[in-house]
A and B are shown apart, each in its own frame.
Chain A
């Protein structure tokens, strides 16, 4: 649905060229939720704004549903932009228009007939759960409600893609979750492709299918969220993963244990349904070894339950080896640290 090819962007600041994006290649599939995570200044905001040409890339192609936006004249670009909705960190609603008029705004711009606009606005108000707020002004709404208006407005033209520019960064955790749930719901109901940028791993973990990690204007790591999350390779990715798992505590725990002699410490990863089965316990009983848990997480990534336990095996060498083999046979991933 979205292809970015060799995207470069630099800004001219007082005669100096400041590079922001250094060759981004990205391919986002139809119907998926793709997350881009990065620190501030990493270029993520520039990247998402290049996807609808709010920022014009210095070189490179931005292909949305087969159309290269960089090759269009102003009028055709405006036309194409209607197929790409966008929501913003600070909502960017018209303060002088009511909720209903804000949602109607893109339809008015597209010169749709009045009756159609009214029907569409009704539908959208219902979709985002703001039926009772049609005649209020944005200043009378909470942050979460404002973002709901933003989402409804972005969906008015039935776009193929929804771009979310730090859409939850100005919201409290509870509201963030409700907005994320709404996005997920829309993604499923409408089959809409969603691209979001964030600096919060929590956001990626809750709703994204795939993730790209951006650092210094390049994508340093990319893949299925589960994959990237459980086995982060790049240091920046590891940092983000630590936001949600307490791996630094783990490192301390492991170091502490290792210091006290020759121990067998393993990281066991469960995925899917096996997460809730007593595989570890059974295996240990069969092989006659015992274990203690140093650290553990059992959680859910979008729809997939997963668990990651760091255990110390306290049997003899033979028993430990056997136990690890059995765990692997049963489909768990075991990594000896």
Chain B
């Protein structure tokens, strides 16, 4: 039980790794929501029987989302290296990991958004229509507020998924705790470093999940 002594652990590096992971997580979650939410709304609105039903558009958008979701993240990340370089100028470090994280997570989140909007009672949308609401007003004042707790649950799930994606991005030099785990824990057989990073990630996921659950409960009016 040599690793229990944690003698290989460089706490300052762990500190930097944690900060890197948190900033990757923060930025990628932010952009995932900014891109995924409108995408999910559009998917929902163009699906059959909805306000902007458009079969052709929906099928194409849906296909792209499915493609992005079916490529394993670790492969997507490698495939996207040229794209990442074009967007942020580098494919390394915190900055270089954000585009693949967002491109990997946004379609996933968009599907969750679409599903939670589908849960909104159609009658409520109709009532708003009968009051003369425009489509934009229906999205903004009816669909999003009514789906609020579902959307928060979706954000929680996505953020937790992003935690594991950030760890994976260590493989291609993405920085953060995953990077530490691979460089020290895997490549140098320093199990103690691996354990510490895993524990930190675990605590992070626990905090995120319970925070999300609490918000869902707070906003649930059913």
Contacts and interface: CB of A to CB of B under 8 A. Distances in A.
B131 A106 contact: yes
A109 B127 contact: no
Interface in A68-99: 74-75, 77-82, 84-86, 88, 90, 92-97
Task: Identify the 5 closest CB pairs spanning chains A and B, nearest first.
Answer: A92-B123, A81-B132, A92-B127, A78-B132, A106-B131
B127 A88 contact: yes
A63 B128 CA distance: 21
Contacts of A80: 132
B128 A109 contact: yes
A197 to B, nearest CB: 14
B51 to A, nearest CB: 11
A109 B219 CA distance: 23
B219 to A, nearest CB: 7
Given A92-B126, A96-B145, A96-B146, A81 B131 contact: yes
Contacts of A54: 126, 129-130
Interface string B128-142: 111111100100011
B151 to A, nearest CB: 11
A95 B133 contact: no
Given A88-B123, A92-B126, A109-B137, A137 B131 contact: no
B134 A94 contact: no
A88 B145 CA distance: 21
A35 B116 CA distance: 38
B131 A94 contact: no
B142 A94 contact: yes
Contact of A93 (B124, B130, B133, B222): B124
Nearest to B147: A96
Interface in A150-171: 153, 157, 163
Given A78-B132, A96-B145, A106-B131, 17 more contacts: A52-B130, A77-B132, A81-B129, A84-B130, A85-B130, A88-B127, A90-B121, A93-B124, A93-B127, A94-B142, A95-B124, A109-B132, A110-B132, A139-B221, A139-B222, A153-B131, A163-B130
B46 to A, nearest CB: 17
B130 A94 contact: no
A71 B106 CA distance: 41
B133 A86 contact: no
Interface of A: 52, 54, 74-75, 77-82, 84-86, 88, 90, 92-97, 105-106, 108-110, 137-139, 153, 157, 163
Nearest to A108: B141
A92 B141 CA distance: 14
Contact of B131 (A95, A139, A157): A157
Contacts of B133: 78, 109
Contacts of A97: 145
Contacts of B129: 54, 81
A105 B137 CA distance: 11
B126 A109 contact: no
Contacts of B141: 105, 108-109
Nearest to A75: B134
Interface in B175-222: 219, 221-222
Contacts of A79: 132
A106 B134 CA distance: 11
Contact of A86 (B124, B127, B142, B219): B127
B131 A105 contact: yes
Given A95-B222, A105-B131, A138-B221, A90 B123 contact: yes
Nearest to B127: A92
Chain B CB within 10 A, most for which of A78, A95, A97, A163: A95
A108 B145 CA distance: 14
B148 interface: yes
Contacts of B128: 105, 109
Nearest to A80: B132
Contacts of A85: 130-131
B188 to A, nearest CB: 52
Given A88-B123, A92-B127, A82 B132 contact: yes
Contacts of A52: 130
Contact of B121 (A81, A92, A163): A92
